[in-house]
A and B are shown apart, each in its own frame.
Chain A
Amino acid sequence: MKKHGLKWVGFALVLALMLGASTAFCQEKYPSRPIDFICTWGVGGGSDQMVRMLAKLTEPFLGVPLPVSNKPGASGNSGTTDLLAAKADGYTIANYIADTLATIPTGQARYKMDDIEWIVRTQNMPSFLFVKTDGPFKDIQALLKATQENPGKIKMAGLGFGTIDDITLRYLAGKGHKMTLVPNPNPGERYASVLGGHNEVLYEQAGDIRQYLDAKQLKPVMVFAESRFPAFPDVPCSKELGFNIFLPQFRCVIAKKGVPAEHIKTLVAAFEKAMQTPEWKKFNEDQYADPASYMGGDQFKAWVAGEMNSMEKLMKEFGIIK
C-alpha cells in the first residue's frame, strides 16, 4: 500500500515536471500573451487612428491581440515615459511621431534616442504649404514673390514656436522669404483661420486636411521633399526650388531598449505583413502618406538618427537650442 502511494507521488512529480517544461517551452514562444500598445496621443486623432488600424491588422500575424490605451500629453512624452517605465520584455510597445522626436534635442524629453528600440516606420508624410483656392496666391511663385516684396506681411498658421513648423519657416526666412508664424496648437482653429482668410498660408500634412482638399477650398503649393508627391504631381517640391529642408512628419512603432533581438524581429515581420494588406494600403492612401512608408529595423534606426541630427543642426543654427 505504502509502495503504491510512493509510486503515485513519483508519477505526479513527473507529470508536474512535464507540465513545467511545457510551460517553459511556451514562454520561449513570443508572443504568448496580449501586447499592450500605448497610443501617445489622444483618442480620435491621426495617431490614434493609425495605432488602432495597425493593432487590428497585425493581430492575425502575431496571433495575440494588441489592446490600445491612450496616454496623451507633453507632445507624446507622457506615453513614452510610461513605455520606458515598463519591462523590456516586448509586451509593451508605443507609437512615436516626429513632433515627439523634436523634443529630444530641446531637452524637453528626459530620455535619449538610444533608450528606444526603433521597430518600424509606419507612415511617412511630407509637409506642404497650403493656400486658399480662391485666395490671392495662384502658385508658389506668386507666394514667394509676395514674401520677398513684403517681408513678414504674409501670415502662416502653424504649431508653436520651436516646433518643426517654426524651424521650416525660419529656414525660408533665411532664404529671403520671411513670413510671420501665427501659432495655434488647436488644429481646428488653425484650419479655420486659413479658410476664413485670417491667415494666408497653412503648414500641414495633406492627410489631416483631406476634406478641404476634396472640396477644393485649399490647395497645396509646395511639398517639403526631395521629389514631388505622387498624389499631387503638379505641386513643386522644395528641392527643385532650392530649399533643402524636408523634415517630414512620420509615425512609427517603438519599444524600450533591451527587448530581445528575436522579439523585435518577430514584431518587424508582423508589422511588415500587416502593412502589405489592402486595408492598410487604402488607409495610408486616404491619409496621403508616402506609399513607400514602410521601413524596419536597423535601416529605420539609421534614418531616425539622421532626422534627429538635421533637426538638431537647424535648431542650433536658429538659436532655438545652444
Chain B
Amino acid sequence: MSELELFWIGLTNAFSPFNFMMMLTGLTIGVLAGALPGITMLNAIVLVLPFTYSMDIVPSLLLMTAVYGGGIFGGSITGILFNIPGDPMNVPATWEGYALNRKGHVAKALGVAIMGSALGGFLSCLVMTLVSPPFAKIALSFSSAEYFAVVFLGLVSVVVINTKSMGSSLICLFLGMLLGTIGIDDVYGAARFTFGSRLMETGINFTIVLIGLFAIGEVLDQLCERDKVTDPGLKERPKVHLMTPREIWALKGPLLRGFGTGTLIGAIPGAGATVASFVSYGVERQVSKKPEEFGKGSWEGLNSTSSAINASVGGAMIPLLTLGIPGSGATAVMMGAFLLHGIQPGPLLFTKDPASVYTIFSGMLLCNIVMILAGWICAKFFSELMRVPENIMGAFIIVFCFVGAYALRNDSSDLWYMALFGIGGYFMRRYSLPVPPLVLGVILGPLAERYFLTTMIGANNDISVFFTRPVSAAIIVVSIGMFFWPMLQSRLNKRRTGKSCAAA
C-alpha cells in the first residue's frame, strides 16, 4: 500500500465520530488545564491516561496528543489575559501578549497566539508525517554533548532576552540553578543542600516554583496594586480576532522560524517546548527589524514563540514513534499508554501496523486545525473572566494553585514550598528582579548538569569534546555569540556616537 493510500485511510479513521470526539475532548481539556494556573499540561496528560486503558490505541493516542498540543497552547491565554503563564514555555508569549493587552490589543493578541500555535503545530506534524525516519536518524546521531549544547543555548537565550539588566538576569538564573541542585543528584546519588532533612531529599519540583513565583506572586502583586491601577476598559464585552490570511502572510517569517526551531529542538530529548520557546524568541529578536518592540508588545515575538511551542509537539513525536524513545515528560506518559496496550512504539510499528501510525499522523494534523476552534472558544470563555473583579479572580487563582500543587505528587510539603515561592515572587516583582530566569534555572539547571557530567564521563573528562563534535560546537559558538553580541553592539554604538560627537 502506498503512503498516500495509507494517509487517506488514516484521515477517514481520524474523522470517525469517536476519534473526532476524543480529539475535541482532548483539546478542550488540554487548553483548559494549560490555562488554569496550577494545572500544567503534563498533569493533564497524566490525569487522562487512566481513561485510555479501556480504549483502543488510536483514540487514546489522539486524546493524549490533543491534550498535549492544547495544553502547550492553553497557558498563553492566561498569560496574555492575566500575566500568569500556565507553563514555563508560555513565558515569552506572556511578555509580548500581556504588553499588547495593556495597549488594548487583547483580541488580536489572542488571535495571533492561537493561529501561531495552530499553524506551527500543523507544519511540524507535516514534517513528522513526511520525513519521520530520516529526521529520527539525525536525532539519533546527537549525543549528550549536543543535548548539553541545546540546553546551554536555552539558558543563554533567557539571559540575553532581558536587556534592561543582564546582571540581575544572571543572578536570578544562578539562584534558580542552585535551587535545582537541592536533593539527591541523579548521577552520584549524593544528597546536596538537604540539611539532613527528609523533606528536602526529593528536591524542589519546578512546577511548584513556577506556580508560586508566577501565579501566586502575580496575584499578590496585583492585589497590592489594586488601589493605584485602574483596569483599562475591561468592562466591555471581550472579543477574539483570528488572523486573516493577509495578516498571516505578513508574519510568515516569524512563523516559519518559530516552526523550524520548534521542530528541531522538540526532537532532541530533554529540552522540548520550553527551550524551543525561549530560543525562537531570542532568535526572532536578533533577526527582527524592530528589536526595540520586544518586551513592549511585539507581534513578531508573540507569533514566533507561539509557533515554536506547538511545533515542538510534532518534533517530540518523531523519536517516540520511529525509535520508541520518549524525549519529554509528555511523550514518556504516551509511551506508557502504548505499552499498556501491548504495542511497542518504534521501527516495527511502521511495518506492523501502518494504518494506526497514519491515523495518528492524520489525526494530529487535523487536531491542529480543530485547535483554532477550540482555542477560540476557550479564549472567549477566559476573556469573559476578565470582567470578574480582580480580588475575586485572585482568590480563585490561588485555590487552583493549591489544588494543582497538591495533585502533583500528593505531598502537603509542596504547598508550603509554593506559598514561600509566592511570597518570594512578590518581592522579586517589587524589586524588579526578573522571575523567568529563576524558573528556567530550576528547570534547565539539573538538565545541563546531567548532560555535562554524562558527556564528561564518556569523554574521559576531556572538555574539548563539546568543541570537536561539529553540531555541539556550532550551537555553543552561537550561544556564546548571542551572549556577547549585545555588549559588543552597545560598545560599537558608543564608539560611533563618540566619533560623530568628535566630528561635530
Contacts and interface: CB of A to CB of B under 8 A. Distances in A.
Interface stretch (B140-148, B230-238, B384-392): B140-148
Given A74-B201, A211-B347, 16 more contacts: A44-B339, A49-B340, A52-B340, A74-B184, A160-B189, A182-B458, A183-B453, A183-B454, A185-B186, A188-B269, A189-B147, A189-B325, A191-B324, A195-B325, A196-B143, A211-B346
Contact of A192 (B202, B325, B411): B325
B189 A163 contact: yes
Contacts of A211: 324, 344-348
Nearest to B339: A49
A115 to B, nearest CB: 16
B49 interface: yes
A183 B335 CA distance: 22
A266 interface: no
Interface string A133-176: 00000000000000000000001000011110000000000000
A73 B202 contact: yes
B269 A186 contact: yes
Interface in B250-284: 269-270
Contacts of B337: 44
Interface string A213-234: 0110100000000000000000
B26 interface: no
Contacts of A32: none
B187 interface: yes
A186 B347 CA distance: 20
A69 interface: yes
B497 interface: no
Contacts of B457: 180-183
Interface in B371-430: 409-411
Q: Is the interface of B mostly helix, strand, loop or mixed?
A: helix
Interface residues of B, number: 50
B327 interface: yes
A103 to B, nearest CB: 9
B49 A44 contact: yes
Question: Size class of A's contact patch?
Answer: 35 or more
B243 interface: no
B208 to A, nearest CB: 13
Contacts of B410: 69, 71
B333 A108 contact: no
Which 7 A-B pairs have CB atoms at the shortest separation, nearest pair first?
Answer: A44-B336, A211-B346, A211-B344, A198-B143, A196-B140, A211-B324, A185-B186
B345 to A, nearest CB: 7
Contacts of B324: 191, 211-212
Nearest to A198: B143
A210 B344 contact: yes
A189 B187 contact: no
Nearest to A161: B188
Contacts of B454: 182-184
Interface string B185-218: 1111100000000100110000000000000000
A247 to B, nearest CB: 17
B347 A215 contact: yes
Interface in B449-467: 450, 453-454, 457-458, 460
A193 B346 contact: no
Given A163-B189, A184-B450, A196-B140, A43 B346 contact: no
B478 interface: no
A72 B147 CA distance: 26
Contacts of B345: 211
Q: Which of B144, B319, B345 has the most CB of A within 10 A?
A: B144
A96 B203 CA distance: 22
Nearest to B351: A215
Contacts of B270: 186, 189
Q: Which of B144, B319, B325 has the most CB of A within 10 A?
A: B325
A199 interface: yes
Given A192-B323, A199-B458, A214 B344 contact: yes
A43 B46 contact: yes
B336 A43 contact: yes
Contacts of A72: 409
A188 B326 contact: yes
B320 to A, nearest CB: 9
A242 interface: no
Contacts of A210: 344
B17 interface: no
A192 to B, nearest CB: 5
A204 interface: no
A198 B144 contact: yes
B150 to A, nearest CB: 13
A184 B326 CA distance: 14
Interface string A87-131: 000000000000000000010101000000000000000000000
A183 B198 CA distance: 25
Contact of B140 (A44, A108, A161, A192): A192
Contacts of B409: 71-73, 78
Contacts of A69: 410
Contacts of A185: 186-187, 450
Contacts of B336: 43-45, 48-49
B319 A192 contact: yes
A286 interface: yes
Nearest to B335: A44
Nearest to A44: B336
